[in-house]
Structure 1
Amino acid sequence: MEELLKDYPVITEISVAWGEMDALNHVNNAVYFRYFETARLEYFSHINLMEDMAITKVGPVLGDTYCRYKLPVTYPDTLLIGSRITHLEADRFTMEYQIVSKKMNKVTTTGTATIVMFDFVTNKKANISDKLMQAIEETYPHGVTTV
């Protein structure tokens, strides 16, 4: 399982809840976006983004998100969600996610998200701070493309 997530610097573990399954007896498609959100926030914690936002009032907003379902997940299971930032621009970055089922030992789902930095005082887009840029590049230095 480590091999499936070796390129993801932050790994989030989530237990599948019975109530996340739908009438077709697998995890409902919308739940994966909550899984991604949980992994994204853990990544943000890893790079101190939320602490920085409390001071600067500049923080992340979700620009878009995408999910590719490969295998259905069912209860009970534990998922490992790898997250990484692969693309940086002045005011945004792209995150990638990979979900691995412990029960199946396979990748079940992949996804991406574009995160735009936003100034909550001026209500306008903002640039990524040098401090945050450095934290992102240090977390995954070999896979980040900077524009």
Structure 2
Amino acid sequence: MEKRYPEIGRRTVQMRWGDMDAIGHLNNTYYFRYLEQVRVEWLDSVGHGIRPGATGPVIAATSCTFRRQLSYPATVEITLELERLGKSSVTLRHHFFVAGDPDTLYAYGDVTLVWVDYQSGQAVPLPDDLRALLAPQAA
């Protein structure tokens, strides 16, 4: 099994028929769209939704490793795990499972978010409340 980190959230995404490619499995670009969706939902849930003109996250790096193909119909469960907590950044690890089958890993991915001032484009420290939420999980 791929390395796991402290889980800070989990979300589900209902796979749609149109998310498949010509081969009949989830198109690789949709893994990144699903990651975006669960990340935005999680940020909203912790009070840090995207607010243009304020401060917030931008993606510095992202990757995905595909283990098994996902096919319609599927309810995809995606974890949010804290891999690294920095001064102005956070790296999350994600694991893709199908609902009801927590033992079969379909894919895993990483994303590094850097907190920035959207007006200046400069990195800023993570908000204190977000750091306080994540710090107990950072080992």
Asked if these proteins are the same fold (TM beyond 0.5), I'd say yes
Corresponding letter in the other structure for 2:129: K
Q: Could you tell me how far 1:29 is from its partner in structure 2?
A: 0.5
| Alignment gaps of 5+ in structure 1 | none
Q: Structure 1 CA distance, aligned partners of 2:6 and 2:91?
A: 15
- Deviation, 1:136, is 2.1
1:21 Cα deviation from its structure 2 partner: 0.6
TM-score by length of structure 2 reads 0.86
TM superposition shift of 1:116? 0.5
Please tell me whether the aligned partners of residues 47 and 136 of structure 1 are also in contact (alpha carbons under 8 angstroms): no
Structure with the larger helix share: 1
Distance 1:7 1:90 in 2: 19
Which amino acid is 1:80 matched to? E
How does the TM-score come out when normalised to structure 1?
0.82
Q: Do structure 1's residue 40 and structure 2's residue 39 form an aligned pair?
A: yes
Asked whether the 8 Å contact 1:65–1:114 carries over to 2, the reply is yes
- Check if 1:70 corresponds to 2:67: yes
CA shift in 2, pair 1:42/1:89, >3 Å? same
* Structure 1 residue corresponding to 2:83, chosen from 83, 86, 89: 86
Q: Which amino acid aligns with 1:129?
A: P
- 8 Å CA contact retained: 2:77, 2:97: yes
Q: For residue 26 of structure 2, give the secondary structure of its aligned residue in structure 1.
A: coil
Q: Identify unmatched segments of 5+ residues in structure 2.
A: none
> Do the aligned residues in 1 keep the contact of 2:58 with 2:115 (CA within 8 Å)?
yes
The AA in structure 1 aligned to 2:125 is: N
Q: 1:104 to 1:85 in 2, by over 3 A?
A: closer
Aligned counterparts of 1:83 and 1:43: Cα–Cα separation in 2:
8
CA RMSD of aligned residues (A): 2.2
Tell me if the contact between 2:6 and 2:82 (Cα under 8 Å) persists in the aligned partners: no
Q: Secondary structure at the match of 2:7?
A: coil
Give secondary structure in 1 for the equivalent of 2:105. strand
